[in-house]
């Protein structure tokens, strides 16, 4: 927290939402400005710290970033299914921690945008390109929490119905027999029939992009926490078993569990996300093996991949956005890695405000 007390004012001075940090500087997203899917994690990090100590510096910084994010409602055609990540963890967190009514309204606005992406053929459309009308991705399991939240807030079950329809499609089409998950499935947008799997951000078609595995693990866990439907817990446990089998001896996480061993490529964000999901699974199942696995991941990150110095603004190193595309960051500090590491540490400390539910 002390490090971010020093570096949050740097972001405010720059007037940006940090995406990553390099060479002693915060760097904004290289894509889509404040509309990039990661924009909510910076205010979410601020809300985690605010929740822990009620330091107004973090509240002020979260709301500064939120003003930039809600400005994106004016150009909503750029937004996609990631409005869950963007607004539940920012405006939704604000409402949860402060009761601010405008923050609640903004979060409901985001949920309405998410509803507009639902294809009644059975899935929530991920992205906006004209040739992607049938694309759905595993990451969306995390965004469903926004819809469950909106149903609880409004008393209107439509949001949760849509989340459940998408989650059942994901159960059927994304989870493989070995407990791994696909990243992208294309459906026929007219009929909902499965067309094909695409390789996405992993090494190759049919491999196991580790962050996708983590999104599936934590996403189905959250779907269970939101609904108590046993099929979601069963899915989360299958994905968790596969993830745990691939944790490296040093506790760090390969970018793809099937990547060639000729070159080291890590994505520690995946390990941090999975640790959060595993800690929730331990509470739900009362099985210590999930906590042990989470501790292996968190210890690996703390022992080997945290930069506590002021040489860089952020904390977690060796984060990789995508196996083949280094443009969004490879083996660097990326803000959502910091967010999930801090969330995992808060869970271990018993102080997590649980911003997803």
Which residues are known catalytic residues? 82, 139
Under the binding rule (CB under 6 A), the answer on residue 211 touching ligand GLY is: yes
Residues 94/100, Cβ–Cβ less than 8 Å: yes
Minimum CB separation from ligand GLY for residue 140, in Å? 9
User: Does residue number 37 form part of the binding site for ligand GLY (CB under 6 A)?
Assistant: yes
343 CB-near residues (< 8 Å, 6+ apart):
48, 272, 276, 352, 355
Comparing CB distances to ligand GLY, the nearer of 179 and 202 is 202
- What is the nearest approach in angstroms of ligand GLY to the Cβ of residue 50? 25
Residue nearest to ligand GLY (CB): 139
Smallest CA-to-CA distance from 294 within 235, 236, 240, 231 is with 240
Residue entry with tokens 């493989």: 176
Residue (63 or 81) nearer to ligand GLY, CB: 81
Q: Which residues of 277-307 are buried (b: 16+ CB within 10 A; e: fewer)?
A: bbbbbbeeeeeeebbebbbbbbebbeeebbe
Nearer to ligand GLY, 138 or 294 (CB): 138
CB 6 within 8 A of CB 310: yes
Please give the residues from 105 up to 144 whose contact with ligand GLY meets the rule CB under 6 A: 139
The verdict on 164 binding ligand GLY (CB under 6 A) reads no
Tokens 């390789």 map to which residue? 199
Among positions 145, 151, 180, 201, the unique one binding ligand GLY when judged by CB under 6 A: 201
Identify which of residues 211 and 296 has a Cβ nearer to ligand GLY in the complex: 211
Tell me which residues touch ligand GLY (CB under 6 A).
37, 139, 201, 211, 321
């Amino acid at each position: 927290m002390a490090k971010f007390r020093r570096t949050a004012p740097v972001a405010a001075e720059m007037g940006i939402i940090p995406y990553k940090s390099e060479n002693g500087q915060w760097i904004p997203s290289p894509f889509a400005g404040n509309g990039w899917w990661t924009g909510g994690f910076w205010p979410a990090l601020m809300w985690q710290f605010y929740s822990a100590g009620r330091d107004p510096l973090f509240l002020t910084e979260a709301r500064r970033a939120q003003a930039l994010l809600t400005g994106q409602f004016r150009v909503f055609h750029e937004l996609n299914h990631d409005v869950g990540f963007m607004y539940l963890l920012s405006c939704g967190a604000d409402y949860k921690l402060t009761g601010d009514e405008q923050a609640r309204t903004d979060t409901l606005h985001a949920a309405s945008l998410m509803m507009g992406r639902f294809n009644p053929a059975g899935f929530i459309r991920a992205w906006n390109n004209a040739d992607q009308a049938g694309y759905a991705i595993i990451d969306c399991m995390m965004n469903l929490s926004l819809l469950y939240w909106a149903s609880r807030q409004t008393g209107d079950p439509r949001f949760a119905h849509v989340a459940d329809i998408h989650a059942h499609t994901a159960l059927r089409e994304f989870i493989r027999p070995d407990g791994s998950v696909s990243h992208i499935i294309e459906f026929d947008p007219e009929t909902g029939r499965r067309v094909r799997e695409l390789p996405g951000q992993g090494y190759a078609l049919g491999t196991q992009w580790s962050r996708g595995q983590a999104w599936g693990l934590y996403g189905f866990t959250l779907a269970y926490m939101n609904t108590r439907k046993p099929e979601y817990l069963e899915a989360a446990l299958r994905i968790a078993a596969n993830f745990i089998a691939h944790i490296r001896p040093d506790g760090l996480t390969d970018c793809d569990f099937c990547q060639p061993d000729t070159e080291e490529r890590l994505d520690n964000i995946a390990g941090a996300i999975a640790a959060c999901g595993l800690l929730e699974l331990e509470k739900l199942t009362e099985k210590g093996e999930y906590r042990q696995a989470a501790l292996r991941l968190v210890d690996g990150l703390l022992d080997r991949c945290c930069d506590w110095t002021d040489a860089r603004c952020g904390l977690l190193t060796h984060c990789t956005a995508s196996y083949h595309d280094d443009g969004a960051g490879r083996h660097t500090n990326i803000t959502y890695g910091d967010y999930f590491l801090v969330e995992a540490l808060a869970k271990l400390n018993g102080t997590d405000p649980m911003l997803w539910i």
